[in-house]
Structures are given as C-alpha cells and as structure tokens.
Amino acid sequence: MRDVSLPGTSVDGAAALMSASPALSDLSCLYQTEFVRSARAVGVLWAVCSLCFAIIQVVILVQPSWIGTADIRPPQPSGTLGLFEVCLESDWPVPDCRGGLSSLSPLPSFQSVAVLVGVSLWAVWTSVLCLCLFRFCSAATVYKICAWLQLTAAGFCLALACLLFPDSWESPEMRALCGDSVRTNTVRGNCSVHWAYILAILGVLDYTILATLAFVLANRQDALLDHGSADDGMNTR
C-alpha cells in the first residue's frame, strides 16, 4: 500500500514555522537590546572607577603619608614620610617638608619604589585615555587593551612597589624620623604605616578587579558580535 499523505499537512507545518519565526526574531532582538543596555551600564561604571582611581594614584604618589609617627612628646621628632618628602611638625600650621617634590626627585632610598608607582600611574592614565578609542575601534578591542594595561603595567608595578617599599626602611630618612630601632620589613619605634601605603595596597586589588571586569566586558562584546552575525545569517537565508 502507498502512504497517502493528508492534503495540507506540509502546508500547515510551513505556515506554523513561518508564524513562529517572527516571534523568535522579536525575542532575539529583545534579548540583544537588554544585553547592550546592561553592557553599557557596567562599562560606564568601569570607566568611572578607572578614572577615580587614576586620580587617587596621583595622591598616593605625591603625598608624604606612607609612614608617620604616632603621638609622641616634643623632644622626639614628629612627622610623616613619603616617596618624595619628609615632613616634620613645626610651630607653624604648615609642616616643614624637605625633599624634591617640586623637581620630582624622589628620596634616594625610595627611587625604585617611586619609579614603579610612576609607571603604574602612567599605565592607568593611558587606559583612561584609551577610552577615546571607542569611536575608532571595536568595544571588545578597547576593553582588552585597557584590561592588559591595568593588570600587567598598573597592577604588577604597584604590587612590586608595595613589596619593595619595606626594604628601604633602614634608610637615613626613616632612622631620623622613627629612631634607630627601625628594621627592614618592620616598623618599630615611633612610626607606623599611614594611609597612603595602605591605599596603594588596596590599589593592587582594585586594579585586579577592574582588569577582570574589562575582560568580562570584552567577552560579552565578542558574544554580542557573534550573536549579531548569526542573526544576519538566518535572515539572509
């Protein structure tokens, strides 16, 4: 016996498939729109955080607040120390600072640390300036460039600077401020770690988070391009 197909069966299946295609296309367009909106919102947040920490790193570099004295009595010196200056308290409201901040000459014992923080500062500001490339390059490419800058140059150099800074604690500047009991990797005597050094350590974590977020945004942009090309291929069929 021959198989007898019911008339209109294939026609009904084709009609149902054609009626379902617009619904699938609308759902795909809606998903793509929400995808782009969320990616843009997170991208703006990432850019603002990168700019804010670039400004904070300028403060970290120039402020003489890496090491400071505790509350001590007048016979002993009281003040703070940074990469460029040593500031001692005086009878005037303004402390007496000695160093080469005006000529950008770091203290001799902290030259390597200052260079590493400067390279990290250059890298993070370069990543901020790379935001202008959004008008000329794909978003995924820009995110990847900024992520590598923040992770390798900025994060690595700042982490290395934080590790090398305690090795210079036996310098004459530290001994004059903190006393002869200061040792490498150990703050003793009258001194303690101040907010600039703590902020530099937190900056390493911040760079890691920003770089990871930039890589995630780049991957999302790549996925968006792949999804768009797949939709174009279906529409041309």
SS (H, E, C) 44-62: HHHHHHHHHHHHHHHHHHH
- Exposed e or buried b for every residue in 41-53, given b needs 16+ CB within 10 A? eebeebbeebeeb
Model confidence pLDDT, tens digit, residues 39-54: 778 888 999 999 999 9
Find the range with the poorest average confidence among 83-92, 115-124, 173-182, 193-202. Answer: 173-182
pLDDT for the residue numbered 184: 65
* Mean of pLDDT values over 15-30: 48
pLDDT of 113 over the 60 cut: yes
pTM of the model: 0.75
Per-position DSSP letters for 84-117, written without gaps between them:
SEEEE--SSSS-EEEEBTTTTB--GGGHHHHHHH
Per-position DSSP letters for 162-215, written without gaps between them:
HHHGGGGTTSHHHHHHH-TT-BTTB--TTEEE-HHHHHHHHHHHHHHHHHHHHH
pLDDT for the residue numbered 173: 81
pLDDT for the residue numbered 15: 46
- Map out the domains of the chain with their CATH numbers: 49-222 (1.20.140.150)
* Mean of pLDDT values over 144-157: 90
| Other residues' Cβ atoms within 10 Å of the Cβ of residue 199 | 18
Q: How confident is the model at residue 14 (pLDDT cuts 50, 70, 90)?
A: very low
